[in-house]
Amino acid sequence: MKFSIAKSKIGIAVALMTIASLLVTACAPTAPSAGTQTAPQPTATPPQPSPTPTGATAAGSGIVNGKFSGEAQSLDGAGATFPAVLYSKWFNEYEKVTGVKVNYQGIGSGGGIKSVSDGTVDFGGTDGPMTEEQMKAAKNGEILHIPAALGAVVPAYNIPEIGTATVKFSPESLAGIFLGQVTKWNDPKIAADNPGMTLPNKDIVVVHRSDGSGTTYIWVDYLAAVSKEWKDKVGVGTSVNWPVGLGGKGNEGVAGEVKQNPYSIGYVELIYAVQNKIGVGHVKNKAGKYTEPSLSTVTAAAAGAAKNIVPDLRASVVNADGDTSYPISGFTWLLIYRNQTDRAKAQALTRMAWWATHDAQRFNTELGYAPLPDDIVKRSEEKILSITVSGQKAFPHDAAKKP
């Protein structure tokens, strides 16, 4: 399948307006290591900002604008590779706006959780929410989960005979492949998903993440939601004991392994499959529809999972309700301590987080990520405004005075 990010933006504004109203109804407020990886860079033609969104996102625009004399001039973050392409763009633009340099290293969500928990970075990045045990073990108290974007984790494959033609996958096929039970590309389960397509009688090479990964969390969270056998035998986490397959480090590592190994299949965030020009599968959703991963179908998944979005925003949106929901979708979060000890850092962190959840959202669509629905933006504002330093509000602006 030849996926076009530009094409996937068609109708996104309408989709977001619909989803915003659904979410408002459904979810009322109730150290970087030696394994650091370089994220793939955006496409050769730099994406241009899309029009400023409406609603809460537009209302926040302009609050963080220009330099602030009291803030730190640099921030260090580490974690998920899932949003690394997006963060590269964001933080480059943020430095232009504020003069603050944000250094982010894509080392995987597991590394991000550990780094922020140990206090070796100013903020972490994860696509898999921290567990209760991890929250309790954090060195400096409560860690907030502030959503940054929504994205799709996709089955990415390399079948030389078909190139990037679209292969469809049912939940049973995907669970069977990653459990090591579906071993041939022409297995009856996959063939039933793809009537009329001639698939080769070749062994399937399974590729998975070798590091602690939020992308893994989203993937196995989905498999556990659709397969009792997966849930009972393997379970859910940023790292699991894989029944079969070879490992790649980071989204880029998995994409590289798939690209290099004929007849392989792995899972990556959508932009990594697009950039590596490897096949991207359509997945049968809860409503029984084979669904293309796109901005609109990911955002539809957020709407379908609205009732499950809990107050602390550690929400799963896999296998969501809705005819058009892409079933392997998820949030990516910024991880920030609620109680800070360094005022300069706290001011820089809260300004960055506010800009990220407001003004920066206009960059999401061009890079293949869905912007946050307005209700999630509003609830993120509450989290950011709750951050304190020495008992005082850390955010150095009056958020009530919006332009």
Buried/exposed code over 208-247 (b: 16+ C-beta within 10 A; e: otherwise): bbbbbbbbbbbbbbbbbbbbeebbeebebbbbbebeebee
Band (pLDDT 50/70/90 cuts) for residue 345 is very high
Q: What is the pLDDT of residue 61?
A: 55
Q: Are residues 68 and 188 in the same domain?
A: no
Residue 319 within a domain: no
- CA separation for the pair 80, 271 (Å, rounded): 14
Model confidence pLDDT, tens digit, residues 116-148: 999 999 999 999 999 999 999 999 999 999 999
Q: Are residues 338 and 381 in the same domain?
A: yes
Band (pLDDT 50/70/90 cuts) for residue 306 is confident
End-to-end CA gap in the chain: 43
Residue 31 within a domain: yes
Model confidence pLDDT, tens digit, residues 172-218: 999 999 999 999 999 999 999 999 999 999 999 999 999 989 999 99
> Residue 14: is its pLDDT beyond 80?
no
Percentage above 90 pLDDT, the chain: 73
Q: Are residues 163 and 114 in the same domain?
A: no
Contacts of 136 (CB under 8 A, 6+ apart): none
Please state the domain count of the chain. 2
Q: Are residues 135 and 215 in the same domain?
A: no
Q: Which tokens go with 264?
A: 């392989």
Domain range for 131 is: 5-151+329-393
Q: Which tokens go with 376?
A: 């999630």
Model confidence pLDDT, tens digit, residues 68-119: 998 999 999 999 998 999 999 999 999 999 999 999 999 999 999 999 999 9
Decide: residue 74, CB within 10 A, 0-12 exposed, 13-18 middle, 19+ buried. middle
Distance, CA of 178 to chain centre: 21
Model confidence pLDDT, tens digit, residues 256-278: 999 999 999 999 999 899 999 99
Residue 305 within a domain: no
Q: Are residues 75 and 121 in the same domain?
A: yes
Is residue 166 within 8 A of residue 279, CB to CB? The reply is yes
Q: Which of 294, 310, 345 is the last residue of a domain?
A: 294
Is residue 301 within 8 A of residue 192, CB to CB? The reply is no
Residue 385 within a domain: yes
Q: Are residues 137 and 165 in the same domain?
A: no
Phi-psi region of 133 (alpha: psi -120 to 50; beta: other; left: phi over 0): alpha
Least Cα distance to 231 among 156, 183, 171 occurs for 171
Q: Are residues 264 and 355 in the same domain?
A: no
Q: Are residues 237 and 366 in the same domain?
A: no
Q: Indicate the pTM of the whole model.
A: 0.78
Residue 403 within a domain: no
> Residue 20: is its pLDDT beyond 50?
no
Q: Which of 294, 318, 353 is the last residue of a domain?
A: 294
DSSP states of 178-203: HHT---BTT-HHHHHHSTT----S-B
Q: Are residues 378 and 264 in the same domain?
A: no
Residue 317 within a domain: no
> Residue 229: is its pLDDT beyond 70?
yes
Residue 318 within a domain: no
Phi-psi region of 82 (alpha: psi -120 to 50; beta: other; left: phi over 0): alpha
Is residue 26 within 8 A of residue 369, CB to CB? The reply is no
Q: Are residues 85 and 136 in the same domain?
A: yes
Q: What is the pLDDT of residue 207?
A: 98
CATH number of the structural domain spanning residue 241: 3.40.190.10
Q: Are residues 160 and 246 in the same domain?
A: yes
Residue 402 within a domain: no
DSSP 124: E
Q: What is the pLDDT of residue 245?
A: 97
Q: Which tokens go with 133?
A: 């045990």
Q: Are residues 106 and 241 in the same domain?
A: no
